[in-house]
């Protein structure tokens, strides 16, 4: 749809709509020259995530690999990034991308539908971007993810939110979003508390969660048993 709009008309719409709180957060020039960077604001996102050198970060639903170079740079040579996908072809694409970009601290993982297959107790930050709405059985899934988190570990979700005004909504796939309040409620039920909430993204909610005070993870077997092999059905492709 966007491609059919003449450039002048697109600029007119963008500039005359700048009073809209959503579009005001879009870097129109960057959208036209660099695409996603103009509305995803990756540098601000990475800064907000407060990743430290040496951290171990997992992206669940790494998609095309958009975030991997940025995460790789953020954790540095002493850190580790785990790029998780459940589709073998997409995993092969990610492996080729990682090799081409020479991201030596990035490991691609073929995850299972109910288990990202991350190293237990090692993850300082697990993030999803445009993935949360694909996950079914989310409460059980993220409760089980506690096993993978290091002490003080966090979980961040960036997901499209409903009701974005045009022309922002033109970039969104119908139904591929989650109400931010639903994310907050489900993560609470999974044993997490809200740690940060950022409002600078024009079309996405951006929430960071930490484990609730007093939450104890007793072991992978106990938590995995509560989830079940078929509790989570998800497709992590298509949006990233």
From first CA to last CA, the distance across the chain in angstroms is 18
The DSSP-derived string for 50-66 is TPPTT-EEEEES-TT-T
What pLDDT is attached to residue 36? 77
Query: Band of the pLDDT at 128, cuts 50, 70, 90?
Result: very high
pLDDT tens column, 36-47: 787 789 999 999
What pLDDT is attached to residue 157? 97
Contact residues for 207 (Cβ-Cβ < 8 A; gap 6+): 156, 157, 180, 183, 184, 187, 194, 196, 197, 198
* Cβ atoms 186, 136 nearer than 8 A: no
pTM score of the predicted model? 0.78
The DSSP-derived string for 88-109 is HHHHHHHHHHHHHHT-TTEEEE
pLDDT tens column, 75-127: 999 999 999 999 999 999 999 999 999 999 999 999 998 999 999 999 999 99
């Amino acid at each position: 749809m966007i491609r059919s709009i003449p450039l002048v008309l697109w600029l007119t719409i963008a500039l005359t709509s700048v009073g809209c709180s959503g579009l005001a957060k879009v870097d129109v020039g960057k959208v036209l020259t660099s695409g996603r960077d103009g509305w995803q604001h990756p540098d601000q996102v990475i800064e907000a995530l407060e990743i430290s050198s040496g951290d171990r970060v997992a992206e669940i639903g790494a998609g095309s690999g958009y975030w991997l170079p940025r995460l790789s740079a953020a954790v540095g040579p002493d850190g580790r990034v785990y790029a998780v996908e459940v589709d073998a072809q997409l995993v092969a694409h990610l492996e080729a991308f990682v090799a081409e970009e020479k991201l030596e601290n990035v490991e691609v993982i073929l995850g299972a539908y109910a288990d990202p297959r991350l190293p237990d107790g090692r993850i300082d930050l697990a993030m999803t971007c445009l993935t949360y709405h694909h996950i079914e059985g989310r409460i059980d899934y993220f409760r089980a993810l506690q096993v993978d988190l290091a002490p003080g570990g966090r979980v961040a979700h960036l997901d499209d939110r409903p009701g974005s005004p045009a022309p922002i909504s033109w970039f969104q796939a119908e139904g591929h979003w989650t109400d931010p309040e639903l994310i907050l409620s489900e993560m609470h039920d999974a044993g997490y508390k809200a740690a940060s909430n950022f409002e600078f993204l024009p079309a996405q909610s951006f929430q960071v969660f930490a484990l609730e005070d007093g939450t104890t993870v007793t072991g992978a077997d106990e938590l995995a048993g509560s989830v079940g092999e078929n509790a989570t059905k998800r497709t992590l492709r298509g949006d990233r």
